[in-house]
Amino acid sequence: MMPKLSPSRIANPSHGSRSVSVARILIVIATVCLPPITAWGNDNPFGLPAPYDPGRLGSVMLHGGGQSLQSEVRNEFVRLAGGRDARILLIPSEMCQLGKNENGESLDKGESAAEYEARLARFTNYGRWATLRDDRQVVDFQFLYRDRQNDPDDVRFFALLEKATGIWMPAIDQGTLPNLFANERATKGDRFQRALREIVARGGVVGGLGGRMASLPEAIIAGDASKDEDDDGWVRAELDFGLSLLSGVIADQTFSSRAGRLERLTDLLRNGPRLDRLRRQPGVERRTIGLGVEAHTVLILSGNTIRAFGEGRGHIFLKSNGDRTITWRTLEAGEEPLVVQTRSARPERAEAGPAKAALNPLGMPDPSDPSRVGTVILHGGGDTDEIVDAIPKLAGTAKPRMVHCPAARQSCRPSENLSPPKLSEHLEKTFFEWRLLQTEGRLKSLTFATTSDPADADREEFVRPLKQADALWFCGGNQRPLAHLFVDHLRPTSFQREALNIVRRGGVVGGSSAGLAIMADVMIEGDDSEAGGPAEATLSRGLGVMKHVLAEQHFDARSGRIERLTGLLRDHKRLANFAPTCEPKKMIGLAVEEDTALIAQANRLRVSGKKLAHIFLQATDPRVVTWHALQPGDAAILRQGDNGYILELEDWEFRE
């Protein structure tokens, strides 16, 4: 059962404290197992026009790109357009324009309409479509194009549209048709836009391939927004006006084969209202649905259902719960159509029993004293001032003993060029704000523990401060040296055991950036990917303070983080092979933005700092993942539901 959450405002990860009205709890992927329920007019989730005949629903075909399904696409399109009664139009791509060659250069001798159509009907161009008419498989087939010389008022153009039962649009840049017909009049609509909607309202079909598919919504992704050279953050979308056939959808093509597609689509769903159509800019409204279509895959929208065919998957993102939850569902060929409906349209059914508090969902060490639960802090990197102030309060004692481990930084480890006195001086200067806690009487002691020798992880003298510590902190840097120095793949080192014991006796262990990464048992060390492909995590073993967690830092500032985290979370085979004691189905993804900390105590989570913390939960259905994004000040609890963990905010209320 979905948690009922009140609306809120969150900080835009890319613009500091600037707030927009958007989802605070961001992705839930759920399976819909309900019979189709027809929705009309404003109730249509995709903004499709209401059908003139309720028994004859129109359709929209969204082809993610590629040429491997040509016959299958054409056959299904003809069927949806009316079979032998179909009247089909095809808009040529930019490589086949009247009077121009494939490079867009004007032909020396010009070209008549008859010559142009003969060229289009060649087998290497659209000959297979033209045979639909020649072989009398349909009532009519025509090429739809503007002929300014012979048809300056577009009389033929719109006459064909008025009778069409189907219009197909091969691949082209998504801005081409909107630039001709949308004209930034999203609220009024051009005649061409209205004609497209009429085809669907009559029970026909409109389909597009690649960029033409992406041009069908009212607001479209025109490309990637420009970045500064030093901006290594998420890929963001540049928006423009589209053809408005789908007024409640944002669509993206070649979804899984291009790096950054998941980033830019989900970023729009999180931060879309930053653009306002009232200022003649396309915007993304609260109820907007995200559709990502992989190459060689087609999503077909009809009424309030979605079905898929082809070789890949469709990705459907739904926002709900007052704009605070998004549902991400994958859909493949052969699956039952997915139904999208409002909660009010849901049939009456018995509510499931109350969710139970999860005992130890993150795999933290069990407390020696149940009344003193230990704490783990995951800080995303950047400014840690707030955590410096908070650690003494979280350590479970009035004046905690603290160990600070700066070994993630090369400049903070012993070396031939850095004598012990110079290293000590450097550490005191670099981390003066931590020493100030002791000076002010808020810490009983502060010890720096750093080394360049992995053998120290099992040396009594080196590990001794941890045995009495109430707090252990790892600063940012590079997580690889931390894993090399303090972790043994075959057996826990003394350092590892004592780090876990701090949490076990009610203390606090945490870290920023690299220090966040080392908390997990399966540690994301970095990433590797083929050129242009999605990032894939490279793995190592971490301290294991959180055994059921995959953790990411710098989540808002480094491109590819969402892809490598969610890809690993769903790759159960790889997780099991890498860590045989791992339970892949129990793994939870925790990702933290910069200047932000996620504070975990047993099954309770709290966010502190300036930006967002993200929680990814798996369900019993392997296709389902739940993504929650919590803002500073949020407190939440993980509970065990019928289909996996659920996250509920702990809001204040009066006791009755």
Q: What is the pLDDT of residue 623?
A: 86
543 part of a folded domain: yes
427 part of a folded domain: yes
Give the list of residues 6+ apart from residue 69 with CB closer than 8 angstroms, or none. Answer: 63, 296, 298, 309, 310, 311
Q: What is the pLDDT of residue 103?
A: 65
The mean pLDDT value for 118-123 works out to 87
When comparing pLDDT for 123 and 510, which is higher? Answer: 510
640: DSSP letter = E
- Report if pTM > 0.85: no
> Residue 631 pLDDT > 80, yes or no?
yes
* Least confident range of 24-28, 337-341, 422-426, 474-478: 24-28
- How far, CA to CA in Å, does 592 sit from each of 377, 382, 558, 609? 11, 11, 11, 10
When comparing pLDDT for 453 and 385, which is higher? Answer: 453
- Provide the residue count of the chain: 656
Of 507, 510, 544, nearest to 368 by C-alpha is 507
260 part of a folded domain: no
147 part of a folded domain: no
| 403 touches 471 (CB < 8 A) | yes
Which phi and psi (to 5°) does residue 445 adopt?
Answer: -155, 155
Q: What is the pLDDT of residue 258?
A: 82
Q: What is the pLDDT of residue 104?
A: 66
| 166 touches 26 (CB < 8 A) | no
What band does 59 get if pLDDT is binned at 50, 70 and 90? Answer: very high
| Per-residue model confidence as pLDDT tens digits over 441-486 | 889 999 999 999 999 999 999 999 999 999 999 999 999 999 999 9
Of 321, 318, 358, 362, nearest to 341 by C-alpha is 318
Give the list of residues 6+ apart from residue 348 with CB closer than 8 angstroms, or none. Answer: none
Q: What is the pLDDT of residue 649?
A: 81
What band does 123 get if pLDDT is binned at 50, 70 and 90? Answer: confident
626 part of a folded domain: yes
| 336 touches 622 (CB < 8 A) | no
598: buried, middle or exposed (CB in 10 Å: 19+, 13-18, 0-12)? buried
- How far, CA to CA in Å, does 474 sit from each of 227, 379, 516? 32, 10, 8
| Per-residue model confidence as pLDDT tens digits over 249-294 | 999 999 987 888 998 998 888 776 655 554 566 667 767 889 999 9
Q: What is the pLDDT of residue 28?
A: 36
Q: What is the CATH number of the domain that holds 551?
A: 3.40.50.880
The mean pLDDT value for 490-502 works out to 97
Burial 547-585 (b: 16+ CB within 10 A, else e): bbbbbbbbbbbbbbbbbbbbbbbbebebbeeebeebebe
CA atoms of 545 and 554, how far apart (whole Å): 20
| 128 touches 74 (CB < 8 A) | yes
- How far, CA to CA in Å, does 514 sit from each of 341, 453, 508, 522, 607? 43, 19, 17, 14, 19
Which of left, alpha, beta for 178 (phi over 0: left; psi -120 to 50: alpha)?
alpha
β-pairing, 625-630 vs 27-28, is: antiparallel
When comparing pLDDT for 453 and 122, which is higher? Answer: 453
Q: What is the pLDDT of residue 324?
A: 63
455 part of a folded domain: yes
* CA-based max dimension of the chain: 92
When comparing pLDDT for 259 and 38, which is higher? Answer: 259
User: Amino acid identity of 257?
Assistant: S
| 48 touches 139 (CB < 8 A) | no
| 91 touches 168 (CB < 8 A) | yes
Q: How far apart, in Å, do the first and last CA atoms of the chain sit?
A: 24
What band does 201 get if pLDDT is binned at 50, 70 and 90? Answer: very high
What band does 98 get if pLDDT is binned at 50, 70 and 90? Answer: confident
Q: How many domains does the chain fold into?
A: 1
Helix 127-134 × helix 70-81 angle, to 10°: 40
Place of tokens 């242009």: 532
Of 331, 314, 203, 302, nearest to 265 by C-alpha is 314
Place of tokens 């079905």: 307
CA atoms of 394 and 375, how far apart (whole Å): 7
| 200 touches 122 (CB < 8 A) | no
> Residue 573 pLDDT > 70, yes or no?
yes
218 part of a folded domain: no
Q: What is the pLDDT of residue 67?
A: 84
Q: What is the DSSP string of 506-553?
A: T-EEEEETHHHHTTBSEEEEEEE--TTSPPEEEEEE---SBTTEEEES
Q: What is the pLDDT of residue 280?
A: 60
Strand-pairing partners, residue 7, are none
On average, the pLDDT of the chain sits at: 84
User: Amino acid identity of 310?
Assistant: G
Helices and strands in the chain: count of H runs, count of E runs: 17, 33
> Residue 43 pLDDT > 70, yes or no?
no
* Least confident range of 65-74, 187-196, 437-446: 187-196
Give the list of residues 6+ apart from residue 138 with CB closer than 8 angstroms, or none. Answer: 78, 81, 82, 83, 84, 85, 86, 87, 88, 132
User: Amino acid identity of 516?
Assistant: L
CA atoms of 321 and 338, how far apart (whole Å): 20
345: DSSP letter = G
The mean pLDDT value for 361-388 works out to 93
356 part of a folded domain: no
What band does 69 get if pLDDT is binned at 50, 70 and 90? Answer: confident
User: What domain range includes position 388?
Assistant: 375-649
- Percent of the residues in the chain that have a pLDDT greater than 70, as a whole number: 85
